[in-house]
Amino acid sequence: MNNYSRYAVFHTPPRGILAEKAAQWLGWDSISGLTPVPAALDGLPSSNRKLTARPRKYGFHGTLRPPFRPAQGMTLDSLRDMTDDLARKLSPVTLDRMSVASLGPFLAFRPGGETRPLNDLAAQVIEATNTWRAPLSVEERAKRNPDRLTPQQRALLDQWGYPFVMEAFQFHMTLTGPLRQDEQDQLQPVLAGYFEGCVPNPYPISDLCLMGAAEVGRFRLLSRHPLGG
């Protein structure tokens, strides 16, 4: 499997100012596989390296199929082929807007306006890719803290391998790890200003990105597959 222990299907923006600035903020460029010079920002509640420690290894992305161990017999070539076939069957989505907002304890880009087409797209990706993954191990399931999940979330975890999919799905592009409320209040306008002018609104999602990560490594873009062929 080319030394990749886990795979995922993400949305990642194409090369450009948004991808560049997000990589500088997070400290990892999943497109190039390089570590950029960190963004120098004033008014942070702590260092950006500390603020972004949790999301850094995933790069700037929106999850469509969460990370998974490949099922027996899957190869990188077969995953690329299947991602390409899947993308050809699905239609692009355009969101009204994306902006920096809170999602629970962390900050992320979140969509505004109508999100049903995006939710439908994500559900189709989850359903189509479920056979690509190996069953959750006991340890993997335990990491999701099933006792702290709702009955619905536990059912989603057992059926689809992740508790926040289908009806529990909320698209987002993570920018920080967990923050206190006062830290969120301080950081949100800083990040909104940092990204001002580089986020397309309306915001297009026009491809599926197959990602891979080594055992202790960070996720990298392996291939990009246009939606609708």
Tens-place pLDDT, residues 160-206: 999 999 999 999 999 999 999 999 999 999 999 999 999 999 999 99
**What are the structural domains, with CATH classification, of the chain?**
6-115+171-226 (3.90.1140.10)
Tens-place pLDDT, residues 216-225: 789 999 999 9
| Sequential DSSP letters for 102-120 | EETTEEEEEEES--HHHHH
The pLDDT value recorded for residue 2 is 64
Mean pLDDT of 4-13: 96
Give the pLDDT band of residue 229 (cuts 50, 70, 90).
low
Residue 194 · residue 41 · CB < 8 Å? yes
The pLDDT value recorded for residue 86 is 98
The pLDDT value recorded for residue 38 is 87
Amino acid at 189: P
Say if residue 1's pLDDT is above 60. no
| Sequential DSSP letters for 124-140 | HHHHHHGGGBPPPPHHH
Nearest to 68 by CA among 137, 150, 121: 137
Bridge-based pairing of strands 173-174 and 62-68 is unpaired
Give the pLDDT band of residue 84 (cuts 50, 70, 90).
very high
CB count in 10 Å sphere of residue 204:
14
- Average pLDDT of the residues of the chain: 95
Question: What CA–CA distance (Å, rounded) separates 42 from 10?
Answer: 30
Say if residue 3's pLDDT is above 80. no
Give the pLDDT band of residue 39 (cuts 50, 70, 90).
confident
Q: pTM, whole model, 2 decimals?
A: 0.95
